[in-house]
Amino acid sequence: MPKLIIANWKENPVTLKEALVLAEASDAPCVAIAPPFPFLGAVRAVVKEANLAAQDVFYEEKGAFTGAVSASQLASVGVTYIIVGHSERRRLGDTDEIVAKKLRAALAQGIIPILCVGESREEHKAGKAEGAIRKQLDVAFSLLTKPYTLIPIIAYEPVWAISTEPNAEADTPKNAVYMIQYIKTFMSHVALPMLLKYIYGGSVNAKNAESFLKEKEIEGALVGGASLKQEEIKKIIETAYRY
Ligand code: PEP
């Protein structure tokens, strides 16, 4: 089975026309495309094989929440995955508690959450990565009271390795595997045992995709910057099919 590729376009591209060209270049069954909200429907209409992901969700189902989009609304337009807890959303105000509500809201609507966890540069340098991630995981799963048949995804995304961070540093497959193993062990001791899938994100591109995806502990990649370049994403998809 190929590895999973999440193409997180963030606030890109600028026009629908560009988005559709990119969607066609990214169209493969192992891919979930996470375009900006306004492009979701049109992307869905042009892809034949890729799944649809949302970059965020609000945790209330409906009501007077201007600008918010709910999990049930996303489900109704065919969204299969929702990214929650991305470091860029955390920076804009999402606390661990808010992330927990979003995770629960996605699962309640039958959408697979992709929970992003990762330590900051300071935490990394101070040797506090494990502690930081433990807290994010602990709170994120704290609101779940029943098992779900869906398999949530945990994306290990060290913030210091995200390509758009000032002075981003490349992570190594060795560290990514170590951290994913750590997360797996931690998650095997949580109160509500569940099946989970583990992926890596942080400057994955056409050149280094193989070094991450060949690792059996890494079941896929969340790709930001490189997912905006047709040739890059095509090569990453080819690599995903080799493992
Ligand atoms: C991300 O934003 O989640 C990400 C992994 O981005 P990039 O691939 O650009 O580092």
DSSP calls for the chain:
-PPEEEEE--S--SSHHHHHHHHHHT--TTEEEE--GGGHHHHHHH-SS-EEEES--BSSSSSS-TT--BHHHHHHTT--EEEES-HHHHHTT--HHHHHHHHHHHHHTT-EEEEEE---HHHHHTT-HHHHHHHHHHHHTTT--S--SS--EEEE--GGGSTTSTT-----HHHHHHHHHHHHHHHTTSSS----EEEEESS--TTTHHHHHTSTT--EEEESGGGGSHHHHHHHHHHHHH-
Q: For residue 191, what pLDDT is reported?
A: 65
Identify the band that residue 1 occupies on the pLDDT scale cut at 50, 70 and 90. confident
pLDDT at 4 over 70: yes
CB of 209 closer than 8 Å to CB of 222: no
Task: Kindly list the structural domains of the chain, giving each domain's residue range(s) and its CATH number in brackets, ordered by start.
Answer: 4-242 (3.20.20.70)
β-strand 4-8 against 51-54: which pairing, if any?
unpaired
Cα of 164 from ligand 1 centre, angstroms = 7
The C-alpha atoms of residue 100 and residue 110 are separated, in whole angstroms, by: 16
pLDDT at 78 over 70: yes
Q: For residue 211, what pLDDT is reported?
A: 98
Residue 202 Cβ < 6 Å to ligand 1: yes
* Phi/psi of residue 52, nearest 5 degrees: -110, 135
Tell me which residues are annotated as active site.
86, 157
Q: Measured between alpha carbons, how far is residue 122 from residues 44, 128, 221 in Å?
A: 39, 8, 24
Residue whose CA is closest, atom 8 of ligand 1? 224
Averaged pLDDT for residues 213-237: 98
Task: Dump pLDDT digits (tens) for 108-155.
Answer: 999 999 999 999 999 999 999 999 999 999 999 999 998 889 999 999
Mean per-residue pLDDT over the chain, rounded? 96
Task: Dump pLDDT digits (tens) for 152-166.
Answer: 999 999 999 999 999
Task: Dump pLDDT digits (tens) for 26-54.
Answer: 999 999 999 999 999 999 999 999 999 99
Residue 34 Cβ < 6 Å to ligand 1: no
Q: For residue 147, what pLDDT is reported?
A: 84
pLDDT at 22 over 70: yes
Residue 224 Cβ < 6 Å to ligand 1: yes
Q: Locate the ligand 1 atom nearest the alpha carbon of residue 163 and give its number.
A: 10
Task: Dump pLDDT digits (tens) for 172-212.
Answer: 999 999 999 999 999 998 767 789 999 999 999 999 999 99
